[in-house]
């Protein structure tokens, strides 16, 4: 296939953003809305086509595109395997939902918002497609600019503090990764991922390099104790911003762990597993407890995100098939469910201007349709069988039990705690007495809101009952990662 489909998928949103930028008129946003919906939907169709024509029985990278970029140094290399394709589809799927949600709720400077989201989509898809470390870093970092603006311009009262915190935390983590990438270039002679995968990095370098990559991914995941930017960013970001942040930006780090930390530094990954396990367990239990005490719904979901991402890191570092596939599944499931939960909170926030749990109660009496969907997602978040949330957590715990009972048992408590804070929140918001007059005058969700929520709901339930398409797609690639990991460890043992 000569058609550069990956480049097309990456740069199509950018083109759309450029069109909006050119046709930008003050107080006139209908053309911008059409352009943005059109480009994002076209991109979604393209990714579906990509998924359809993806060869699931092939372990290596497909659709590889290669161009000379920095002559003599770096090639612009793109390619996907069974892991990245799912994230690309997720990104392309979430973006139109975000666009529709901001058409509903964003009142000021809509055109700029749409431009920012489309540019962000370009960078996010770029992260998942790039096969060169420098290109990866470029897209990984570039995403900060639009997100900084989204939080800062359209955010809540403490937006400036949150935007700064988000930007500086992530940048601080990432610059160390840049140093590591440059070091790899001089140590191995290339930054092409497939080449590094073959050539291997010397054992003595692996530990420090792993830590440098870890500093970046741990901030982005976010892992305890560098998770503090996330609740702030989520609370202050506008709904669409929170959705993108939770659904995709956090997944970049999980993807990074899986692709780069495991792929390039197998020995160091094995060595640092206890560290990751400890931090994941702390994240799961501690942030769940913190989530119990939140009175802001968005903050509660933000802390639950930290806990869920704890499962993801736990699963990745079990190095077995159940664990890794579980965390992949957990990431996709979290991408859908937390996005939907943020959209639900957004629905309430648009109507009342409040996100506080105590200002609601008895919502079910006035917004029955909304409440139904909201409860489905709450149950999905706590891992009810039949939703995607269950399969992810189940597989991760399965993988964890295989290697360490203590870790698995401690992680299991997180499932219980998650049920506790989620259900308690649902009880206080949806059921109970209405002690706020405002709630009694609310209108139920409109057609657009219902559409996007129902689509998310269907996806969550379909893949909850029938996870095969997702697992099937990633299976061979995950096997490849595990195989490579085992080989490296054996080689290392023999050398000892």
Partner 1 sequence: MENINLIIPEITLFLGICLALMVGVFFKNSFSIVMKLSILILLGVIYLILTNWGGEQKLFLDSFKNDKFSDYFKILILVSSIFIFVSADQFIKDKKLNKFEYPIIIMFSILGMFFMLSANDLILFYLGLELQSLALYVLASIDRDNIISSEAGIKYFVLSALSSGLLLYGCSLLYGFTGSTNFDEIGVSLITQNTGAIFAMVFILVGLAFKVSAVPFHMWTPDVYQGAPTSITNFFAVVPKAVGLAVIIRFMDLPFKNIIEEWQTIIIFISIASMILGSVAAIGQKNIKRLLAYSSISHMGYALAGVATGTVSGYTSTIIYITIYIIMNMGTFSCLYLMKTDGKYSEKIEDLSGLSKERPMLAFSFLILFFSLAGIPPLGGFFAKFFVFMSVIESEMYALAIIGLLTTVISAFYYLKVIKIIYFDDNKIKFDDVRNLSIKATIFLSCLFLTLYFISPSIIGSLLNELFI
27 lies in the binding site for partner 1 (CB under 8 A)? no
DSSP string, 88-109: HHHHHHHHHHHHHHHHHH--S-
Buried b / exposed e along 389-411 (16+ C-beta atoms within 10 A)? bbbbbbbbbbbbbeebeebbebb
Let me know: does 174 contact 147? Beta carbons within 8 Å. no
229 lies in the binding site for partner 1 (CB under 8 A)? no
Query: Pseudo-torsion of CA 270, 332, 64, 62, nearest 10°?
Result: 90
Nearer of residues 33 and 208 to partner 1, judged by Cβ: 208
Per-residue binding letters, 177-216, with partner 1 (x by CB under 8 A): -xx--xx-xx------------------------------
Nearer of residues 68 and 483 to partner 1, judged by Cβ: 68
32 lies in the binding site for partner 1 (CB under 8 A)? no
Per-residue binding letters, 71-90, with partner 1 (x by CB under 8 A): xxx-----------------
Both tokens of 81, joined, read 């395997």
DSSP type of residue 202? -
Closest Cα partner for 347 from 295, 297, 418, 382? 297
Alpha-helical runs (H) found in 245-296: 250-256, 262-264, 266-292
462 lies in the binding site for partner 1 (CB under 8 A)? no
| Cα dihedral across residues 8, 12, 13, 14: positive or negative | positive
Nearer of residues 61 and 137 to partner 1, judged by Cβ: 137
Stretch that binds partner 1, among 144-152, 262-270, 299-307, 356-364 (CB under 8 A): 144-152
CA neighbours within 13 Å on the CB side: how many for 33? 14
Count of residues near partner 1 by CB under 8 A: 35
Site for partner 1 in 393-422 (CB under 8 A): none
Stretch that binds partner 1, among 36-44, 153-161, 223-231, 246-254 (CB under 8 A): 153-161
Stretch that binds partner 1, among 137-145, 323-331, 394-402, 429-437 (CB under 8 A): 137-145
160 lies in the binding site for partner 1 (CB under 8 A)? yes
Nearest distance, CB of residue 207 and partner 1, angstroms: 15
Nearer of residues 264 and 343 to partner 1, judged by Cβ: 264
Reply yes or no: is the peptide bond before residue 225 cis, omega within 30 of 0: yes
Among the listed residues 33, 37, 46, 145, the single contact to partner 1 using CB under 8 A: 145
List the beta strands (DSSP E) in 71-209.
74-80
Tokens 């892991």, residue? 83
Residues near partner 1, by CB under 8 A: 24, 69-73, 112, 134, 137-139, 141-142, 144-145, 148-149, 152-153, 159-160, 163-164, 167-168, 171-172, 175-176, 178-179, 182-183, 185-186
């Amino acid at each position: 296939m000569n058609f550069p489909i990956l480049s097309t998928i990456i740069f199509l949103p950018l083109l759309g953003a450029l069109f909006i930028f050119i046709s930008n008129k003050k107080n006139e946003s209908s053309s911008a809305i059409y352009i943005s919906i059109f480009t994002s939907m076209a991109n979604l169709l393209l990714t579906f086509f990509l998924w359809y024509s993806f060869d699931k029985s092939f372990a290596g990278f497909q659709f590889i595109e290669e161009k000379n970029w920095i002559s003599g140094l770096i090639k612009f290399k793109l390619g996907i395997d069974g892991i990245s394709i799912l994230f690309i589809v997720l990104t392309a799927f979430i973006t139109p939902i975000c666009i529709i949600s901001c058409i509903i709720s964003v009142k000021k400077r809509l055109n700029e918002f749409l431009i920012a989201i489309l540019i962000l989509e370009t960078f996010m898809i770029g992260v998942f497609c790039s096969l060169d470390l420098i290109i990866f870093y470029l897209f990984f970092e570039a995403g900060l600019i639009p997100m900084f603006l989204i939080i800062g311009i359209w955010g809540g009262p403490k937006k400036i503090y949150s935007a700064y915190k988000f930007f500086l935390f992530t940048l601080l983590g990432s610059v160390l990764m840049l140093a590591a990438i440059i070091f790899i270039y001089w140590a191995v002679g290339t930054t092409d991922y497939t080449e590094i995968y073959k050539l291997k990095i010397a054992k003595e370098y692996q530990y420090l390099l792993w830590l440098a990559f870890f500093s970046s991914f741990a901030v982005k995941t976010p892992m305890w104790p560098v998770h503090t930017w996330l609740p702030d960013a989520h609370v202050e970001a506008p709904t669409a911003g929170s959705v993108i942040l939770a659904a995709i930006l956090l997944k970049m780090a999980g993807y990074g762990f899986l692709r780069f930390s495991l792929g390039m530094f197998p020995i160091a990954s094995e060595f640092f597993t206890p560290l990751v396990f400890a931090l994941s367990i702390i994240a799961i239990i501690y942030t769940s407890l913190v989530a119990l005490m939140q009175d802001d719904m968005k903050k509660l979901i933000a802390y639950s995100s930290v806990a869920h991402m704890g499962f993801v890191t736990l699963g990745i570092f079990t190095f077995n098939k159940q664990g890794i596939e579980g965390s992949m599944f957990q990431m996709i499931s979290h991408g859908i469910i937390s996005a939907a939960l943020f959209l639900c909170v957004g629905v309430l926030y648009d109507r009342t201007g409040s996100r506080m749990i105590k200002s609601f109660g008895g919502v079910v009496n006035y917004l029955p349709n909304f409440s139904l969907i909201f409860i489905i997602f709450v149950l999905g978040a706590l891992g009810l069988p039949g939703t995607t949330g269950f399969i992810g957590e189940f597989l991760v715990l399965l993988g964890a039990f295989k290697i360490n009972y203590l870790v698995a048992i401690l992680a299991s408590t997180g499932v219980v705690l998650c049920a506790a804070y989620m259900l308690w929140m649902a009880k206080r918001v949806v059921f109970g007495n209405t002690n706020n007059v405002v709630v009694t005058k609310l209108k139920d969700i409109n057609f657009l809101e219902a559409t996007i929520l129902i689509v998310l709901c269907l996806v969550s339930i379909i893949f909850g009952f029938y996870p095969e398409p997702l697992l099937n797609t990633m299976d061979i690639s995950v096997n490849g990662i595990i195989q490579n990991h085992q080989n490296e460890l054996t080689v290392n043992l023999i050398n000892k």
